[in-house]
């Protein structure tokens, strides 16, 4: 692999052992993917923050970088941690977990990473331009960066993204090259895809259909016949697809790289029917009563918060039920200044920031199963080595109906 003089110096350790470690990793990756060189990247979004997912290995690894005086060299935001930094007790998280989590966050702070702690950095100003080369981890954010912005990032992992953030470089392969962004499967959508969870289900159906195809960079669907989605609906679609190894998609007349659609090399097709959508909803429907609903995977934006506030208006939580909404600090501040936060809190909704429904540890004495509006959350909450709790999916309106009842105001 060709290295510039400056990169050779980094590899030789002239800027410290931290950036040398980072360069070694990038070269391993570059050789593996047969990249001919590294390219500069303008921003990083870093995953691997929660103590639940990273464990003590994460603490050790960050500690090693800090010991070697590594610092990030480009604008870098951070994925959700395992808890709300202020309100973790409301998540029933104990001090032992919190202590480990604070240590991880301190380390990231020492590395020079902004402690934004959200999977939706684009909702608070980490925006990208079409064609911009970046290094993002967090599979749903990667898919959003490629598909919504038309920016170029591979699905960096938690270590490669840290290496990219430190050196400002990433191997030039995969989605950085136009040829690997061209659609290879076509998805015609006959079913009515109308809201957030419909898009999440569409991602599940599509991802599953092509999951075993040997595409080098995953299935790259071009969706036809769907109405113009809102950004958060594209986020939901991408989050589901990403669980199946698809990190870029195109929608006819919507996404920014329309010029790639006529170049499509379609190797398989799928028609998503109303029956398929119905069956998928049935597959994920709760068989019986659940006492908690969690929404905000990926983290809810202001529009989703406002929608939820509308749904719970005039209702009260049923006895023994909880409703949690996960967002980031910026959206929460806006929800607060515009009055929606109070409306939600007044009816008992708990709003958490800095974390998400998947990377937090649930108190299993309280919660035996979980209800959510996101298929991605379903995949990961139910994963045995994470929380391993049976998880079910319904639209946010149905989640609200399951947890709330009408408040009966008696006349004097």
Partner 1 sequence: MSNTIYTGKALRSSGRHEVVGEAIVTKNPITLLGFVNPKTGEITEEKHDLNGKIITNKIFVFPRGIGSTVGPYVLINLVKNEKAPLVIINMQSDQGTVSGCSVAKIPMAYGFEVDPTEIIKNGDQVKVIIENGVSTIQILGE
Close Cβ partners of 51 (under 8 Å, ≥ 6 residues apart): 58, 59, 81, 82, 97, 100, 101, 104
Q: Partners of 390 in the beta sheet?
A: none
DSSP assignment of 292-345: EEEEEEEEE-HHHHHHHHHHHTTEEEPTT-EEEEEE-HHHHHHHHHTTHHHHHH
Q: Is 267 in the site for partner 1 (CB under 8 A)?
A: no
Residue among 19, 160, 240, 280 that touches partner 1 (CB under 8 A) = 160
Smallest separation, CB 324 to partner 1 (Å): 21
Residue among 10, 11, 29, 370 that touches partner 1 (CB under 8 A) = 29
Number of residues that bind partner 1 (CB under 8 A): 42
Smallest separation, CB 29 to partner 1 (Å): 5
The span of 28-36, 291-299, 301-309, 394-402 binding partner 1 (CB under 8 A) equals 28-36
Q: Is 332 in the site for partner 1 (CB under 8 A)?
A: no
Smallest separation, CB 3 to partner 1 (Å): 13
Interactions with partner 1, residue window 235-254 (CB under 8 A): 243-245
Smallest separation, CB 317 to partner 1 (Å): 30
| Eight-class DSSP state of 211 | T
The span of 93-101, 103-111, 156-164, 301-309 binding partner 1 (CB under 8 A) equals 156-164
The span of 42-50, 68-76, 93-101, 108-116 binding partner 1 (CB under 8 A) equals 42-50
355 SS3 class? strand
Q: Is 44 in the site for partner 1 (CB under 8 A)?
A: no
Nearer to partner 1, 20 or 395 (CB): 20
Q: Is 156 in the site for partner 1 (CB under 8 A)?
A: yes
DSSP assignment of 249-285: -EETTTSS-GGGGGG----EEEEE-HHHHHHHHHHHS
Smallest separation, CB 217 to partner 1 (Å): 10
Residue among 148, 326, 380, 404 that touches partner 1 (CB under 8 A) = 380
Smallest separation, CB 139 to partner 1 (Å): 6
Alpha carbons 385 and 269: distance in angstroms, whole number:
34
Residue among 159, 277, 341, 349 that touches partner 1 (CB under 8 A) = 159
Interactions with partner 1, residue window 95-154 (CB under 8 A): 137-139, 142, 154
Q: Is 221 in the site for partner 1 (CB under 8 A)?
A: no
How buried is residue 348: exposed, middle or buried, by Cβ count under 10 Å (0-12/13-18/19+)? middle
Q: Is 216 in the site for partner 1 (CB under 8 A)?
A: yes
Whether 46 contacts 162, CB under 8 Å: yes
Nearer to partner 1, 2 or 32 (CB): 32
Alpha carbons 238 and 141: distance in angstroms, whole number:
8
Alpha carbons 222 and 228: distance in angstroms, whole number:
14
The span of 261-269, 283-291, 323-331, 384-392 binding partner 1 (CB under 8 A) equals 384-392
Nearer to partner 1, 24 or 90 (CB): 24
- Record the tokens describing residue 71, joined without a space: 């610092």
Alpha carbons 327 and 88: distance in angstroms, whole number:
14
Contacts of 252-261 spanning 24+ positions with Cβ under 8 A = 252/222, 252/223, 252/224, 252/225, 253/228, 254/228, 254/229, 255/147, 255/148, 255/150, 256/130, 256/148, 256/149, 256/150, 257/130, 257/150, 257/181, 260/178, 260/181, 260/182, 260/183, 261/183, 261/222
229 SS3 class? coil
Interactions with partner 1, residue window 47-66 (CB under 8 A): 47-48, 50, 53-58, 60-61
Whether 68 contacts 21, CB under 8 Å: yes
Nearer to partner 1, 142 or 306 (CB): 142
Smallest separation, CB 364 to partner 1 (Å): 16
Binding site for partner 1 (CB under 8 A): 21, 24-25, 27-29, 31-33, 47-48, 50, 53-58, 60-61, 137-139, 142, 154-161, 214, 216, 243-245, 380, 383-386
């Amino acid at each position: 692999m060709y290295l510039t003089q400056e990169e050779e110096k980094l590899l030789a350790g002239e800027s410290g052992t931290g950036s040398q470690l980072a360069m070694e990793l990038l070269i391993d990756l570059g050789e593996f993917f047969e990249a001919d060189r590294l390219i500069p990247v303008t921003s990083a979004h870093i995953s691997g923050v929660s103590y639940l997912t990273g464990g003590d290995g994460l603490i050790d690894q960050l500690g090693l970088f800090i010991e070697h005086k590594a610092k990030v060299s480009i604008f870098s935001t951070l994925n959700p941690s395992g808890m709300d930094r202020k309100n973790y007790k409301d998540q029933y998280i104990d001090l032992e977990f919190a202590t480990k989590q604070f240590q991880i966050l301190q380390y990231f702070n020492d590395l020079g990473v902004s402690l934004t702690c959200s999977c939706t950095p684009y909702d608070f100003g980490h925006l990208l331009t079409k064609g911009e080369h970046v290094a993002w981890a967090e599979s749903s954010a990667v898919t959003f960066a490629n598909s919504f912005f038309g920016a170029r990032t591979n699905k960096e992992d938690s270590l490669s993204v840290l290496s990219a953030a430190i050196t400002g470089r990433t191997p030039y392969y995969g989605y950085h090259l136009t040829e690997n962004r061209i659609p290879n499967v076509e998805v015609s959508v006959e079913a009515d895809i109308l809201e957030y969870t419909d898009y999440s289900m569409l991602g599940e159906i599509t991802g599953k259909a092509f999951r075993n195809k040997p595409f080098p960079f995953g299935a790259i669907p071009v969706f036809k016949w769907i109405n113009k989605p809102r950004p958060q609906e594209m986020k939901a679609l991408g989050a589901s697809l990403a669980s199946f190894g698809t990190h870029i998609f195109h929608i006819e007349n919507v996404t920014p790289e329309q010029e790639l659609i006529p170049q499509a090399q379609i190797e398989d097709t799928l028609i998503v029917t109303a029956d398929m959508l119905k069956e998928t909803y049935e597959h994920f429907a709760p068989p019986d009563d659940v006492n908690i609903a969690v929404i905000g995977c990926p983290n809810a934006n202001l529009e989703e918060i406002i929608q939820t506030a509308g749904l719970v208006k005039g209702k009260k939580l049923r006895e023994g039920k909880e409703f949690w909404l996960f967002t980031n600090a910026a959206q929460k501040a806006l929800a607060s200044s515009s009055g929606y936060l109070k409306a939600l809190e007044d009816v008992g909704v708990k709003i958490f920031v800095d974390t998400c429904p998947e990377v937090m540890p649930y108190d299993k004495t309280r919660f035996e199963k979980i209800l959510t509006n996101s298929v991605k959350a379903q995949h990961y909450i139910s994963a045995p080595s994470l929380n391993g709790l049976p998880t079910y999916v319904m639209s946010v309106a149905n989640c609200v109906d399951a947890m709330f009842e009408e408040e009966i105001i008696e006349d004097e």
